[in-house]
Amino acid sequence: MTVMQGQTKAGNPLAEVYRVSGEDEEFLQKIIDVEGVKAHACLSCGSCSGSCPLSFSMDYTPRQIMRFLQLGMKEKVLSSSTIWLCASCYGCTVLCPREIKITDVMGALKRIAINEYKDLIASKSSYTYYNTFMKSIEKNGIIDEKSFFITYQLKTRGLLGLLNYAPFGYSLFRKGKISLRTHKIRQLDSFRMIFRKTGQMEQ
Amino acid sequence: MKSAYFPGCSLLGTAKEYDLSNRAVFRELGVELPEVEDWSCCGSTATPSYSRLLSLVLPARNLALAERMGSSIVAPCAACFNRLAMTNLSLREDGEMRDRVNEVLSTLNLNYNGKVEVRHLLDFYLNEIDLETLSKHVVKPLDGLRAVPYYGCLTVRPKTINTFDDTLNPSSLDQLIDVTGAECLEWMNKTKCCGASLIITKEDVALKLTKGLLLDAERVGAQCIVVACPFCHFNLDAKQGDVKRMSKKEIPILYFTQLLGLALGIDWKELALDKNSVSPFGMLRKWFPE
């Protein structure tokens, strides 16, 4: 992190307060621009960590992540287990006295990690999960639960991993909750253009 | 305004009993809702972690389809409700983003103007069908059945989209349990997350949350947990066998539409009670000896 004085390039209030510059400032700006996140407003009160049902399993609590963000500590944040353990339950967002959309911050961090910093990702299975999920939607227009699950297990744990779930899968099959038929939407060809078009626009 | 039903992907599969029981109750009440025509996946809570634009376009396709039908959307799934409503809010507030989304939708000859209302199924039962109508149809009150209401996270959060209930202490599900004659118990975990979105990637962590909920329900003396979300149901019901608890007692997890259906005198087959992983039949014997 480069310490500098005076006005920063982007006029980012956070960067000014904490004197963050260069790449770290760009990173901060990215999160602030996209989600309207007021990370600089965070008081470190800990309401988020206290309300988070998953704090116990994270390497850094949401409060710590917010603080690292203020300090522009990009690698620390993007390599944390925290962002992959966030269940997007909005508990923190509801309780934040500064109305910071913490759930959206976690979403943005996952997005940045997946699209730009794959090597920093602490949970490779989560990376596979999100990619497989999106491909499944593109393939059928809806999520076909069994195809998605089978693809994910094969990619992360292989055939043996998948076989562990065979009795469970069979019990769902017997209840008619898994069918051999794959649901698809009718306008599938035009639906898939959504993915091409958004891909082009986000380039 | 007319309403259209948006079942969502889970209700075609692991949450089939939610869809079937809801349709059965609708039939009994004479409520007819067409489906949103050729609806597609809302993108779920996973999409915002992948692409911001796509996370808005996927729900927007469905909003545009409903708008073309002149309908509001009724969603039984918490994640669908959340993504559709959050997108609706973003597109209404941010004209620039709406233009970008419509640029994508134009390739499908669709356009969204922000006119659709998105409602959770609980909201629809409570404020469209209403409690009075429901109580008139109750023929088999479930007197003495002790139930805890479990809302989970996305049905009532965040407050920007939940216009029908309190965020911290919701009561819509409580009221629907009351209507059936069952006893709705107080507990601390109404809106605590069950960890369902982590059940595939972090199963051990998710099951810890599930375990806490099951133990607490048992502690307050509940005979069953009543839910309004396919993922809560999956975690609490289908995965209950994987939760290591001291007690061997199983707790049936019912969709509120199944509970309502029973009180309305609908046959258990129509309510798909045999599709629940934890069988509710033992618990129900007192009210339905046959």
Q: Please name which of A142, A140, A161 lies closest in space to residue A152, comparing C-alpha atoms.
A: A161
A192 vs A141, A202, B78, CA distance in Å?
8, 16, 25
Higher per-residue pLDDT: A26 or B241:
B241
Which residue on chain A is closest to B191 by alpha carbon?
A91
**pLDDT of res. A6:** 38
Question: A102-137: per-residue pLDDT in tens?
Answer: 999 999 999 999 999 999 999 999 999 999 999 999
Chain B residues whose CB is inside 8 A of the A118 CB are none
Query: Are B168 and A94 within 8 A, CB to CB?
Result: yes
pLDDT exceeds cutoff 50 at A2? no
Q: Please name which of B273, B19, B50 lies closest in space to residue A135, comparing C-alpha atoms.
A: B50
Q: What is the DSSP string of B166-204?
A: -SSS--HHHHHHHHTT-EE---TTTT----GGGTTTSHH
Q: What is the DSSP string of B63-120?
A: HHHHHHHTEEEEE-SHHHHHHHHHHHHHHHH-HHHHHHHHHHHGGGT----S---EEE
Quick one: average pLDDT of B249-275?
97
Q: pTM score, two decimals?
A: 0.94
**pLDDT of res. A73:** 86
Query: Are B193 and A85 within 8 A, CB to CB?
Result: no
User: Token pair of B125, please?
Assistant: 């039962």
Chain A residues whose CB is inside 8 A of the B38 CB are 185-187
Q: Is the minimum CB–CB distance between A8 and chain B shorter than 8 Å? A: no
Query: Are A178 and B13 within 8 A, CB to CB?
Result: yes
Q: Is the minimum CB–CB distance between A182 and chain B shorter than 8 Å? A: no
**pLDDT of res. A22:** 72
Query: Are A144 and B158 within 8 A, CB to CB?
Result: no
- Distance in angstroms (rounded) separating the CA atoms of residues B17 and A116: 41
pLDDT exceeds cutoff 80 at B244? no
User: Do B255 and B273 meet the contact criterion of CB atoms below 8 Å apart?
Assistant: no
pLDDT exceeds cutoff 80 at A17? no
Contacts of B131 (CB under 8 A, 6+ apart): B175, B176, B179
* Confidence grade of residue A71 (pLDDT, cut at 50, 70, 90): confident
Measured in whole angstroms, the distance separating CA A62 from the mean position of its chain's CA atoms is: 13
- Could you tell me how many CB contacts below 8 A there are between chain A and chain B? 167
- Distance in angstroms (rounded) separating the CA atoms of residues B72 and B89: 14
Preferred mutation among B14, B40, B100, B157 to probe A, highest tally of A CBs within 10 A: B40
**pLDDT of res. A69:** 87
- Distance in angstroms (rounded) separating the CA atoms of residues B179 and A183: 36
- Distance in angstroms (rounded) separating the CA atoms of residues B173 and A120: 42
Query: Are A201 and B197 within 8 A, CB to CB?
Result: no
Chain B residues whose CB is inside 8 A of the A84 CB are 201-202
Beta pairing, strands B118-120 & B224-227: unpaired
Question: A72-106: per-residue pLDDT in tens?
Answer: 888 999 999 999 999 999 999 999 999 899 999 99
Which residue on chain B is closest to A186 by alpha carbon?
B38
DSSP label at residue A25: H
Which residue on chain A is closest to B86 by alpha carbon?
A104
Q: Please name which of B290, B140, B143, B148 lies closest in space to residue B223, comparing C-alpha atoms.
A: B148
User: Do B274 and B268 meet the contact criterion of CB atoms below 8 Å apart?
Assistant: yes
* Confidence grade of residue B87 (pLDDT, cut at 50, 70, 90): very high
* Confidence grade of residue A14 (pLDDT, cut at 50, 70, 90): low
Preferred mutation among A35, A86, A90 to probe B, highest tally of B CBs within 10 A: A90
Question: B3-22: per-residue pLDDT in tens?
Answer: 999 999 999 999 999 999 99
Measured in whole angstroms, the distance separating CA B38 from the mean position of its chain's CA atoms is: 21
**pLDDT of res. A23:** 72
Question: B133-187: per-residue pLDDT in tens?
Answer: 999 999 999 999 999 999 999 999 999 999 999 999 999 999 999 999 999 999 9
Residues 61-80 of A with CB under 8 A from B: none
Query: Are B201 and A126 within 8 A, CB to CB?
Result: yes
Q: Is the minimum CB–CB distance between A44 and chain B shorter than 8 Å? A: no
Q: Is the minimum CB–CB distance between B188 and chain A shorter than 8 Å? A: no
pLDDT exceeds cutoff 50 at B196? yes
Quick one: average pLDDT of B109-125?
98
User: Do A142 and A185 meet the contact criterion of CB atoms below 8 Å apart?
Assistant: yes
Q: Is the minimum CB–CB distance between B238 and chain A shorter than 8 Å? A: yes
User: Do A18 and A70 meet the contact criterion of CB atoms below 8 Å apart?
Assistant: yes
Residues 94-153 of A with CB under 8 A from B: 94, 101, 103-104, 107-108, 110-111, 114-115, 123, 125-126, 129-131, 133-134, 137, 141-146, 149, 152
Which residue on chain A is closest to B192 by alpha carbon?
A53
Which residue on chain A is closest to B156 by alpha carbon?
A90
* Average per-residue pLDDT for chain B: 96
pLDDT exceeds cutoff 50 at A196? yes
Residues 23-52 of B with CB under 8 A from A: 38-41, 43-52
Q: Is the minimum CB–CB distance between B220 and chain A shorter than 8 Å? A: no
Q: Is the minimum CB–CB distance between A154 and chain B shorter than 8 Å? A: no
Closest chain A C-alpha to B279 CA, distance in angstroms = 12
Quick one: average pLDDT of B214-240?
96
